Amino acid sequence: LVKREIVRIVTPGTLTDEALLDPRASNHLAAVVEVKGKLGLAWVELSTARFTLTSTHRLEIQDEIARLAPAELLIAETAVDAPWVRALRAAAPGMTITPRPSWDFLADQARQLLCEQFRVSTLSGFGVNDDAIEIQAAGALLAYLRETQKSALLHLRRLHVHRREEVLGLDETTRRGLELTRTLREGKRDGSLLHAIDLTVTPMGARLLAEWLNAPLTNLDALRRRHDAVGDLVEDAALREELRRGLATIQDLERLAGRMGTGRATPRDLVGLARSLAALPTLKARLTARRSAALRQLEAQLDLCPEIRQAIDETMVDDPPLALKEGGLIRDGFHPLLDELRDIASGGKSWIARFQAEQIRRTGIPSLKVGFNKVFGYYIEVTHQHQSKVPPDFIRKQTVKNAERYITAELKEYEDRVLRAEDQARELEYELFIQLRDRVAAEAPRLVQVGEALAQLDVLAALAELAARRGYRRPELVSEPILKIVAGRHPVLDILMPEGRFIPNDLDLGGDSGTILLLTGPNMAGKSTYIRQAAVLCILAQMGSFLPVKSATIGLVDRIFARVGASDELGRGQSTFMVEMTETANILHNATARSLVILDEIGRGTSTFDGVSLAWAIAEYLHDVIGCRALFATHYHELVDLETVKPGLRNANVSVLEQNGEIVFLHRIVPGGADQSYGIHVARLAGVPNPVLERAKAILAQLEAQHRRMGESAAHSH
């Protein structure tokens, strides 16, 4: 009987097999613990060894979980029915929730387990207090990993602390509305911002790019480092080209290291690792003495791991088989005993030839042959015709058509020796392979670090490549709340639309230009695209990318709130307007003077009068109380009057052209309120009877006159 042991337990959050994972997406296992309304959160990407923790509040945990979209979430079994758990279920619909024993989450136990794993006596070195609530989540996570992985988790050697204040805040509605990583309608990567900007050449880079996009920075210095590096790589096309060519030959070092660390690397993984390491010296050499600090640091971080590479190269054959125990793994000349055993095993052929020749001579049977089959091993075959010449020491074993098969003592003795040598060689090969693997596994943390450096290099080079290909420019980042864009394009439409068809637009917010732009005008003219574009450009700038603009000055944003798109969706039933108002309330409560707010057709879901009233009051509140930068698209023309009374508010509209009896939207944003007669123009072109048109014009004139008065009185009623 074969002894079977449980080697590991596979769960959605602990997959490391290449075949089961999307190389371009992270696979997170997370744990959440709640103590007095505060939440501790820890997550790990087991296949890449990234172990992160943070604390948060009830209101924000949903956005965090939606951002991470973990495959599996651990919670204490006592919390299964808690309201915050229900909310998390809704935030990440595909997520498996795994209840765990409550004691796994106990503070003391968790700290002790973490200290043991990371070989420290206090966790404060990682930047987290020993009594922080997130320690409890991290401890439960590690306990689960140990239980399921049944391995030393050699690659887990560092804790990362996620500081939420260092990250640009993006709630789930905003992420969805701006289509950062998935499209709004079909939920596909294709057509998302991520898809449009992803020119990475390694899976490590692709994952890191998604991470950067999901968590743009708010720190000016960190962003300047990224922009400097991208700038260096934009300018030096030859360098960029070489780096990308080199990176493209490198395997997924992070996930290779993950398989090393959990004891599941294959012979091909090791050879792939050596080949990937072989590409490093050239990369490192090309990175020396760059202007950008980030590139110089990456150069320093690029540990060539020469002894690992050398050990693999010396030990392993160039193209090993998939199987571990069938031999053929270890290079000739690496181990004297292995060479000797192989000699014996492969020496077979010449010995057999000699033996066969000798038997032919002795028996005088010219057709005598020595063969091998799996049942009888080596045998001598003699045709019926020559039966009489068979010597007495031949032992008959098998009759086949036209022939008999024999063995002799000498032949069987030789066979034993050969077979034993083969077995011994296989066993020795396996042993040598495991030795090598263990040795490399011990270096897993170094490999993880190299993988991280390569991922960064790939992302920076990809952003530079994007900038070079599509003519992106470096934004000027400042602390002041301004947002100035000249000839900006929407990065997704810029790619999707035929060359030159997308109309670039300017934007000028902050300082003397006012902080709120009120955009009026007909549907379908590009209002939504324009206001989304502003948000998307801020996100790109704060993730470290250059921008599709002629020039841009971006005052760093702490949070972006976008309420776009959803109001156009049908079939969501009676609660549409309720959803709209709930999201608006969230914005009004949480936006700060450093935030950017994007509102598309607020109030559309209700009737005109109260829609106008709410939109007006909301715009005023943003202007008077919050004072943030905001873009406000509406077809409530009434709101244009706000400009006369609110110094920080500016009107703009989308210019419309009547051409050969057709209405053409120029998709160009110009100052001022929209032309009121647009609708009546179209009605005339459509053949609406003249008396109706004349009457409509008269009413319009009255409306405008009335509203001028109303604007004034509303302004002065404060």
Among residue numbers 493 through 532, which ones bind a copy of itself (CB under 8 A)? 520-525
| 121 vs 717 by CB, closer to a copy of itself | 717
Closest approach of a copy of itself to the CB of residue 713, in Å: 6
Encoded amino acid at 479, one letter: S
By CB under 8 A, residue 638 contacts a copy of itself: yes
Binder among 635, 650, 651, 652 for a copy of itself (CB under 8 A) = 635
State which of positions 662-701 bind a copy of itself (CB under 8 A): 663, 665, 674, 676-680, 682-683, 685-689, 691-693, 695-700
Q: Scanning the structure block, which residue is given the tokens 């010219």?
A: 366
| 78 vs 582 by CB, closer to a copy of itself | 582
Q: What percent of the residues of the chain are helix, what percent strand, and what percent coil, each to the nearest 5?
A: 50, 20, 30
Closest approach of a copy of itself to the CB of residue 613, in Å: 4
CB 703 within 8 A of CB 681: no
Burial class of residue 239 (count of CB atoms within 10 Å of its CB; 0-12, 13-18, 19+): middle
CB 628 within 8 A of CB 658: no
The rounded distance, in Å, linking the Cα atoms of 530 and 534 is 7
The CA-to-CA distance between both ends of the chain, in Å, stands at 88
By CB under 8 A, residue 613 contacts a copy of itself: yes
| 25 vs 693 by CB, closer to a copy of itself | 693
By CB under 8 A, residue 636 contacts a copy of itself: yes
**Which window, 62-70, 137-145, 175-183, 703-711, contacts a copy of itself (CB under 8 A)?**
703-711
The rounded distance, in Å, linking the Cα atoms of 152 and 130 is 23
State which of positions 256-315 bind a copy of itself (CB under 8 A): none
By CB under 8 A, residue 710 contacts a copy of itself: yes
Binder among 26, 173, 174, 576 for a copy of itself (CB under 8 A) = 576
| 10 vs 699 by CB, closer to a copy of itself | 699
β-sheet bridge partners, residue 551: 486
State which of positions 646-665 bind a copy of itself (CB under 8 A): 663, 665
Distance of CA 392 to the CA centre of its chain: 75
State which of positions 549-568 bind a copy of itself (CB under 8 A): 568
Closest approach of a copy of itself to the CB of residue 691, in Å: 7
Longest Cα pair distance anywhere in the chain, in angstroms? Answer: 128
By CB under 8 A, residue 610 contacts a copy of itself: yes
Encoded amino acid at 584, one letter: T
| 279 vs 588 by CB, closer to a copy of itself | 588
Q: Scanning the structure block, which residue is given the tokens 């997959």?
A: 15
Closest approach of a copy of itself to the CB of residue 710, in Å: 5
Closest approach of a copy of itself to the CB of residue 204, in Å: 38
| 80 vs 688 by CB, closer to a copy of itself | 688
β-sheet bridge partners, residue 330: 316
CB 97 within 8 A of CB 89: yes
Binder among 605, 645, 666, 668 for a copy of itself (CB under 8 A) = 605
**Which window, 254-262, 432-440, 477-485, 709-717, contacts a copy of itself (CB under 8 A)?**
709-717
The rounded distance, in Å, linking the Cα atoms of 317 and 716 is 85
The rounded distance, in Å, linking the Cα atoms of 669 and 642 is 19
By CB under 8 A, residue 637 contacts a copy of itself: yes
Q: Alpha helices of 236-335 — where are they, by DSSP H? A: 237-248, 253-261, 267-278, 280-287, 293-301, 306-315
| 414 vs 616 by CB, closer to a copy of itself | 616
Phi first, then psi: what are they for 361, rounded to 5°?
Answer: -60, -45
Kindly give, in sequence order, each residue whose CB lies less than 8 Å from that of residue 211, ignoring residues fewer than 6 positions away: 26
| 363 vs 606 by CB, closer to a copy of itself | 606
CA dihedral 168, 171, 173, 177 (to 10 degrees): 10
State which of positions 139-158 bind a copy of itself (CB under 8 A): none
By CB under 8 A, residue 713 contacts a copy of itself: yes
**Which window, 1-9, 99-107, 316-324, 606-614, contacts a copy of itself (CB under 8 A)?**
606-614
CB 31 within 8 A of CB 113: no
Q: Residue 654, SS3?
A: strand
| 237 vs 625 by CB, closer to a copy of itself | 625
Binder among 345, 538, 612, 652 for a copy of itself (CB under 8 A) = 612
What Å distances lie between residue 57 and 78, 133, 142, 163, 220, CA to CA?
19, 12, 23, 13, 26
Closest approach of a copy of itself to the CB of residue 308, in Å: 55
Closest approach of a copy of itself to the CB of residue 154, in Å: 49
By CB under 8 A, residue 611 contacts a copy of itself: yes
Closest approach of a copy of itself to the CB of residue 136, in Å: 31
Closest approach of a copy of itself to the CB of residue 578, in Å: 6
| DSSP 8-state secondary structure symbol assigned to residue 330 | B
State which of positions 579-598 bind a copy of itself (CB under 8 A): 581-582, 584-586, 588-589
Residue 188 CB neighbours (<10 A): 12
| DSSP 8-state secondary structure symbol assigned to residue 626 | I
**Which window, 416-424, 538-546, 549-557, 576-584, contacts a copy of itself (CB under 8 A)?**
576-584
What Å distances lie between residue 196 and 170, 199, 435, 490, CA to CA?
19, 8, 45, 10
| 234 vs 680 by CB, closer to a copy of itself | 680
How many residues at the interface with a copy of itself, by CB under 8 A?
75
